Amino acid sequence: MEKSFYNLISDRRSTRKFKDTPLTPDQVRYLLSAGLRAPSSRNRHSVQYVVVEDKEKLKALSLVREHGSKFLEHAPLGIVVLGDPITSNHWMEDASIAATFIQLQAEALGLGSCWCQIIDTLTVNGQESAEYVRLQFDIPLQLEVLCIIAVGHKDEDKEPVPEEELLWERVHLDHYHLPTSEE
């Protein structure tokens, strides 16, 4: 039975532990199709992808950040999300939406995913993370590296965030309401 969109977004949590089970070609195709179907500014389609299944390359990607990228080593799939600023000055928004579509499609397929931010991050050696990724895959200089989405079969169970823990105080009606010290 398919999940409603509300259940899909409620159930989706970042997954950093994956089973050692490869994805099927159909699963990979669904993920990429979701990214390719994402809306883009002025229909420019400024987003491109590098699909990584090779274990050694995933291990190398796990070193892309000083902290917060180790989970890539054990993911069966990594999707490097790229944007082309020459095609669209809204490449970052386009790439972010596409990456989110991929993560939602992963959840719809019963898979887990986690976003690994690349922009404005450094490797443990102080190298720009985007440059590190660019060198790993011979990515042309005109393309920007937004993130890497790790995808795989979940090897951890996470409950949805309870409704009572949602930060409703961050929603403002008709004007911005500055919280008082009593709130």
**Cβ atoms 103, 7 nearer than 8 A:** no
Burial (CB count within 10 angstroms: exposed 0-12, middle 13-18, buried 19+), residue 120: exposed
**Cβ atoms 19, 152 nearer than 8 A:** yes
Quick one: pLDDT at residue 4?
87
pLDDT at residue 146 tops 70: yes
Domain ranges of the chain: 5-158
pLDDT at residue 181 tops 90: no
pLDDT at residue 107 tops 60: yes
What percent of the chain shows pLDDT beyond 90? 78
Place of tokens 């590098």: 50
Task: Render pLDDT for 163-177 as a digit per residue (tens, 0 to 9).
Answer: 899 898 888 888 887
CA–CA separation, 109 and 29 (whole Å): 12
Closest CA relative to residue 80, chosen from 139, 162, 120: 139
CATH number for region 5-158: 3.40.109.10
CA–CA separation, 183 and 181 (whole Å): 6
Place of tokens 């299944």: 53
Task: Render pLDDT for 67-98 as a digit per residue (tens, 0 to 9).
Answer: 999 999 999 999 999 999 999 999 999 999 99
> Which of helix, strand or coil describes residue 169?
helix
Q: C-alpha distances in angstroms, 171 versus 100, 161, 178?
A: 22, 17, 11
